[in-house]
Structure 1
Amino acid sequence: MSGPDGLRGAADADADAVRVSVVLPAFNEEATIEGTVRTTVDTLSGFLRDDEFEVIVAEDGCDDRTPEIADRLAREDARVKHFHSDRRLGRGGALEFAFERAAGDTLVYFDTDLATDMRHLEELVARIDRDGYDVATGSRWMPGDEADRPAKRGVPSRGFNLLVRTVLRSDLRDHQCGFKALSRSAFEELRDAVEDEHWFWDTELLVRAQRRGMRVAEFSVDWEPKGDSKVDLVRDVFGMGSQIVRLWWQLSVSPRITRTRTVAAGALLTVAALALMTVYLDPAQVLRAFTEADPVPVAAATLVYVVSWPLRGLRYRDILSELGYDERVGFLTGAVFISQTGNLVFPARAGDAVRAYVVKARRGIPYPTGFASLAAERVFDLLTITAMAGAVLAGLLATDGTGAVATAVSGNVPGVSASAVSTAVQVAAFVGVVAVASLLFIVATARSDTNYVRSVVSRFSQDSYVDYVVGVVEEFAAGVQTVAGTRTSFARVGGVSVLVWTLDVVTALLVLSAFPDAASAMSLTQLVVVGFFAVSVGNLAKVLPLSPGGIGLYEAAFTALVVGLGGVPAAVAFAAAVLDHAVKNVVTVVGGVAAMLGLNVSLTAAVDETEDVDDSEAEAAAEFATDD
């Protein structure tokens, strides 16, 4: 038997007679795998005929002698099979691969360390094969078990299971006991639904089975820990925690999200964010600031922002060109206008996917390419914005400007000492330096054949779940790699990105200079430094897909920084933030409406179309970006 990417399995036995398939997920188990296989075969022989079961070693990209031992065992005993993968699939991935090719209707798996007493194996099989349960699992935390767990294992385990029961509304007491079974039909129904491929696979399987109304049996087992506890910060804290949140969102929140609800929630959040400002600001002062604003700099700001849009189209043309598609800048500028208008109308950045629809519907560019190009553009946006904010902070640290900033902030914010602010600014400046260094590191990874990210993170975690964590960073780097095929293309796209966001900052500076109280409070140098930082942080706040166009988030971040760093009155800073954002949004909407009329595109139809895009196309986009 063979499979993709170097996956292979030993020859099948008489599949018609096999009732029970036991899978042993194995990674570098050369010291124990032979004893585990023989113990498993002997235990199964005690209550099943020899032709009614098979034992499968799901060997997951081992780099020790496990494959060699598994091959020998398969040759010596027809009841034993060996499924091999050249690359790491993760624990869940290895189990899925083996289950897909297993012959039995009852699918069993347990940890190869045999921590669970094997006398429970017959009961585990019987729960599926005889009693008709869909899923069965052993439990170390039910009354009647005898699991002797040291504190370094028991405390995290109890905490994790409590979170799963509370957040994911599971009725089970133990979700991670490596001693489970399920029916063939249950596996076929759940296999595509379970997304995790690593250690959370067990938990997700059990939770999704319960949500679908399947019969799940949990019974107590005798369990004795074997070997050292593998407490892994990356996997146990960040990995498992993020997966609990992800599954909660998918099961409890996402099904209730409709377009009407998202638009209403986004509008409500926007109104609430702006209304909250009235708690700290006098609306009369804000209105007075508006009336005192000079319209000439505002008009200049509008023109500057209009100029930035053809540059966005030019950048998008260069990105698509690297993916093999040559289009006119005018058409692509219109596509960008439409997608950004969608982001103003719909929350959660739903407009981003609209662009993939526009280029597909009007130019025949496939969805995977559209999504990959959009991902690359977003990566360069984040690179540029973060670099701008980080560079300002790094400059403050290098020139010892943190003291001046601390003095200014303490003078503008009553009750805050200069020393406390100085410490905070120094920490923020250090974070800025780290952010810039991290961006350079990611770019280096994207430009190199060596995977620096994985090699560095692997120093802190050797667990297979590190693949999940590193994958997030690698996906980001893949966006850079998509357009970093040559140094020239990387420099061109990066350079245009800097121009785009510099014009965004210049727009805000011109708007800010239109307010007399703001212009008098800061020197030209302060105006530039504060403006770059405030706009950069404000745009980073907009990355959170909480409100349409980031309205409220941008104003809050911009106002806080202009008041704190520039000494501008709060009402004036808020008025400037609102006017700056309004100028940009009006230009975006006008351009978006014109583009929709010119290209005959309906925004609502585009959103409907992209909601129906198959997940496989989105996955293909990610793979496409990585391959390029």
Structure 2
Amino acid sequence: MSRPTAGDAVDASVTAEVSVVLPAYNEEDTIERTVETTVSALSRFLPADAFEVIVAEDGCSDRTPEIAERMADEDARVRHFHSDERLGRGGALEHAFAAATGDVLVYFDTDLATDMRHLEELVERVRSGDCDVATGSRWMPENVASRPAKRGVPSRAYNGLVRTFLRSDLRDHQCGFKAFSREVFETLRDDVEDEHWFWDTEMLVRAQREGFAVEEFAVDWTPKGDTKVDLVRDVFGMGSQILRTWWQLAVRPRITRRVALVAGAVLTVVAMLLMTQYIDFGAVVSEVRQADAAFVAVATVVYLLSWPVRGIRYRDILEELGYREKAGFLTGAVFVSQTGNLVFPARAGDLIRAYVVKARRGIPYPTGFASLAAERVFDLLTIAGLAGIVLVGYTVTGQTAELAETLVGAEEAGQVAVVVATLVGLAAVVAVAVIAFTARSDSNFAGALVRRASSDSYAEYVAGVVERFASDLQTVAGTRRGFARVGLSSVVIWTLDVITAVIILAAFDPGLGLVELLAVGFFAVSVGNLAKVLPLSPGGVGLYEGAFTLLVIGLTDVGPSIAIGAAVLDHALKNIVTLVGGYASMIGLNVSLTTAVEETRDVRESPDGAARLDD
């Protein structure tokens, strides 16, 4: 009998009423006995031509394919479904069910942990039309399976989470003993996104939501050997799938475009109000009022000039990765993501940018994340470099002792800000060194580390994502052309950022000469920006002001009230420009902070997406 592969069309000349799928990965020791037991059990209540048994062999590296192929040649009721690559448990089931001919689609685990005397009941519940989905259960009150604590406790916790968050009425979602009608499978297959252990749970939950009749019945179940579920990696992964499904089924339908726009506006206002929680504006308001309005206007224009450069830099980064986009669109994407960083903690806006470019231009998530990582590395390297150059200047002029004395006598908040800045600067230098080293190596250490932790299909998928991420990052920073283009624009961006702060400080008439003003400005702004890299507060409010004020007071004769006023006004001006530009970009790009993630679910690669450059 021919061996179908993933993607093969169903052979219409071969039909069966019931299709039983046995998902198999490296089962050479048991697959023959499992197939024989399955055929024998089905033969007891079905005619010989009413069923088929499909071995869904999932990229095995042992003799399972040869054994399955031999059995298919010997028995017309047995089919061998082959995949050269690992599809995952869910992926293998989906492809096998698509190739099956039966109206009743059944699967159970090849270890035969569930007593086969229940097979007739499983099949007949769906075959008779009593229900659309039938599933065995190890957690029914009248027949609780005996499971070791290390497997039973996580299973109960998992099922409890599914019932709570996804409003499922079932007690056991992971028992490998299920039957679906063809209608259920065809209706839900495109909606089910998971391709691994969560696949059948998602099928059960979505079937209930769609109004299909889902029945659960108690089965005798005996654990056989070691589970292939990694209780750390896979349970964590399934937890994230529970949250993803909950968002799709319970939250996303409630978010209309009007709600999204209103929520975006509210979050923007909240971000501005958060500033008042970190800084006592009453202590500096008198100084701010005395700032020269003309200087503030010029500073605003200078800061605005940095934004198109940000878009150009992001364009250059993506072009190095093989994607050509217009700088105008990318400037808007940067505006939206930076606004997200002001609104949400933990720099969540960086993720929003990846969502925006994926939703609007089809740029893959790993590439979007890698481009952001490359941008952040260049930011940190540039800021650390600017601070380092000025620090060398202070050392040459003998002001390091004065700086050290200032730090020792500073308040704890200021000391923390400077320490954070120092550590972040060192981390940036180390990151660049690692990138340069790995760019010259044929090995991808990150991917190898993931594979060392586990070797199943899920780990292989994660390793592939990590390797693509690292490869893209190395592509940007690993060539002289890419490093020079992105590095130069980074210097321009942060020079404009510093000049903005210098002009703001000059607006307070601090009595400093041009050289001293520029020196302290470059150093204080660079250290302040390094300090706010860690997501300890939205937009880094507080850390930036602390470092800026400490250094201006310590290195000049400027008084505390002027230093604090300049720091607050500088950071507020930049945040306000970011918020206004971000909200305008959200309107122009027709996205919002609250729906950016969701819009990507409906995105499909299309000819009008991002054009992949020729090699």
Normalised-by-shorter TM-score class: 0.7 to 0.9
Say whether 1:94 aligns with 2:92.
yes
Q: Deviations along 1:562-603, whole A, 9 cap, x unmatched?
A: 5799887896444432122234566x589x89xx9xxxxx82
Say whether 1:187 aligns with 2:180.
no
SS state of the match for residue 617, structure 1? Answer: coil
Using a 3 Å threshold, how does the CA distance of structure 1 residues 66 and 353 change in structure 2: closer, same or farther?
closer
* Aligned pairs (5 A) from 1:69-148: 69-148=67-146
Separation in 2, partners of 1:131, 1:441: 61
Separation in 2, partners of 1:292, 1:345: 29
Say whether 1:459 aligns with 2:460.
no
Answer with 217-226 or 566-575: which moved more.
566-575
Separation in 2, partners of 1:147, 1:564: 65
AA aligned to 1:616 is R
Q: Deviations along 1:108-147, whole A, 9 cap, x unmatched?
A: 1111111111111111111211134222211111112241
- Report the Cα offset of residue 177 of structure 1: 1.1
Judge conservation of contact 1:475–1:622 (CA < 8 Å) in 2. no
2:575 aligned to which of 581, 584, 591: 581
Using a 3 Å threshold, how does the CA distance of structure 1 residues 134 and 449 change in structure 2: closer, same or farther?
farther
Say whether 1:555 aligns with 2:555.
no
2:374 aligned to which of 367, 380, 404: 380
AA aligned to 1:15 is V
- Paired residue for 1:261? 259
Using a 3 Å threshold, how does the CA distance of structure 1 residues 510 and 580 change in structure 2: closer, same or farther?
farther
SS state of the match for residue 459, structure 1? Answer: helix
AA aligned to 2:18 is V
Q: Deviations along 1:313-338, whole A, 9 cap, x unmatched?
A: 544554575688889xxxx4433445
Separation in 2, partners of 1:46, 1:457: 46
Say whether 1:499 aligns with 2:487.
no
Answer with 493-502 or 122-131: which moved more.
493-502
Q: Deviations along 1:518-577, whole A, 9 cap, x unmatched?
A: 999x998886566335435657759xxxxxxx9x53536644665799887896444432
Figure out how many residues of one structure are paired with residues of the other and give that number: 581
Separation in 2, partners of 1:47, 1:571: 84
Judge conservation of contact 1:152–1:229 (CA < 8 Å) in 2. no
- Paired residue for 2:14? 15
Judge conservation of contact 1:141–1:174 (CA < 8 Å) in 2. yes
Separation in 2, partners of 1:250, 1:619: 27
AA aligned to 1:490 is G
Using a 3 Å threshold, how does the CA distance of structure 1 residues 382 and 91 change in structure 2: closer, same or farther?
farther
Judge conservation of contact 1:305–1:584 (CA < 8 Å) in 2. no
Using a 3 Å threshold, how does the CA distance of structure 1 residues 8 and 577 change in structure 2: closer, same or farther?
closer
Using a 3 Å threshold, how does the CA distance of structure 1 residues 30 and 325 change in structure 2: closer, same or farther?
closer
1:615 aligned to which of 598, 603, 615: 603
- The alignment yields a C-alpha RMSD, in angstroms, of 4.9
Structure 1: runs of 5+ lacking an equivalent: 359-366, 543-549, 597-601
Separation in 1, partners of 2:86, 2:439: 21
TM-score by length of 1: 0.75
- Report the Cα offset of residue 223 of structure 1: 1.0
Judge conservation of contact 1:302–1:507 (CA < 8 Å) in 2. no
- Report the Cα offset of residue 377 of structure 1: 4.6
AA aligned to 1:201 is W
1:603 aligned to which of 565, 588, 613: 588
AA aligned to 2:378 is T
Separation in 1, partners of 2:112, 2:301: 71
- Paired residue for 2:246? 248
- Report the Cα offset of residue 432 of structure 1: 7.7
AA aligned to 1:67 is P
Q: Deviations along 1:427-482, whole A, 9 cap, x unmatched?
A: x9778867876777678778876554332111112333224544553453465477
AA aligned to 2:162 is V
Judge conservation of contact 1:108–1:180 (CA < 8 Å) in 2. yes
- Paired residue for 1:412? 411
Q: Deviations along 1:371-430, whole A, 9 cap, x unmatched?
A: 9987765453244346568999999xxx9x9xx99995995248x9x9xx69x968x977
AA aligned to 2:455 is Q
AA aligned to 2:30 is T
Decide which structure has the larger Cα Rg and report it.
Answer: 2
* Aligned pairs (5 A) from 1:205-604: 205-230=203-228, 232=230, 235-279=233-277, 281-293=279-291, 298=296, 301-302=299-300, 304-312=302-310, 314-315=312-313, 318=316, 332-340=326-334, 367-368=361-362, 377-385=371-379, 408=407, 411-413=410-412, 450-470=443-463, 472-474=465-467, 476-477=469-470, 479-480=472-473, 487-496=479-488, 498-499=490-491, 501-503=493-495, 505-507=497-499, 509-510=501-502, 513-514=505-506, 528=522, 531-532=525-526, 534-535=528-529, 538=532, 553-555=539-541, 558-559=544-545, 572=565, 573-583=567-577, 588=581, 603=588
Separation in 1, partners of 2:610, 2:127: 40
Judge conservation of contact 2:306–2:497 (CA < 8 Å) in 1. no
TM-score by length of 2: 0.77
Using a 3 Å threshold, how does the CA distance of structure 1 residues 613 and 603 change in structure 2: closer, same or farther?
farther
Using a 3 Å threshold, how does the CA distance of structure 1 residues 454 and 288 change in structure 2: closer, same or farther?
same
- Report the Cα offset of residue 78 of structure 1: 0.9
Judge conservation of contact 1:409–1:564 (CA < 8 Å) in 2. no
Separation in 1, partners of 2:382, 2:486: 13
Using a 3 Å threshold, how does the CA distance of structure 1 residues 23 and 308 change in structure 2: closer, same or farther?
same
Using a 3 Å threshold, how does the CA distance of structure 1 residues 430 and 556 change in structure 2: closer, same or farther?
closer
1:155 aligned to which of 132, 153, 156: 153
AA aligned to 1:553 is G
Using a 3 Å threshold, how does the CA distance of structure 1 residues 478 and 255 change in structure 2: closer, same or farther?
farther
Judge conservation of contact 2:387–2:522 (CA < 8 Å) in 1. no
Separation in 2, partners of 1:565, 1:164: 53
SS state of the match for residue 223, structure 2? Answer: coil
Using a 3 Å threshold, how does the CA distance of structure 1 residues 333 and 574 change in structure 2: closer, same or farther?
same
Say whether 1:27 aligns with 2:25.
yes
Using a 3 Å threshold, how does the CA distance of structure 1 residues 509 and 233 change in structure 2: closer, same or farther?
farther
Separation in 1, partners of 2:210, 2:507: 59
SS state of the match for residue 70, structure 1? Answer: helix
Separation in 1, partners of 2:405, 2:12: 75
Separation in 1, partners of 2:189, 2:290: 63
- Report the Cα offset of residue 43 of structure 1: 0.8
SS state of the match for residue 82, structure 2? Answer: strand
- Report the Cα offset of residue 617 of structure 1: 1.6
Q: Deviations along 1:259-295, whole A, 9 cap, x unmatched?
A: 3212222222233343344455444334334224455
Separation in 2, partners of 1:435, 1:69: 54
SS state of the match for residue 466, structure 2? Answer: helix
Separation in 2, partners of 1:301, 1:129: 74
- Report the Cα offset of residue 226 of structure 1: 1.2
AA aligned to 1:603 is G
Q: Deviations along 1:165-199, whole A, 9 cap, x unmatched?
A: 11222111111111111111110111110111111
Separation in 2, partners of 1:201, 1:165: 16
Judge conservation of contact 2:308–2:331 (CA < 8 Å) in 1. no
Answer with 614-623 or 234-243: which moved more.
614-623
Separation in 1, partners of 2:364, 2:8: 37
AA aligned to 2:113 is A
Judge conservation of contact 1:19–1:105 (CA < 8 Å) in 2. yes
- Paired residue for 2:392? none
Separation in 2, partners of 1:305, 1:197: 47
1:63 aligned to which of 52, 61, 65: 61
AA aligned to 1:117 is D
- Report the Cα offset of residue 57 of structure 1: 0.8
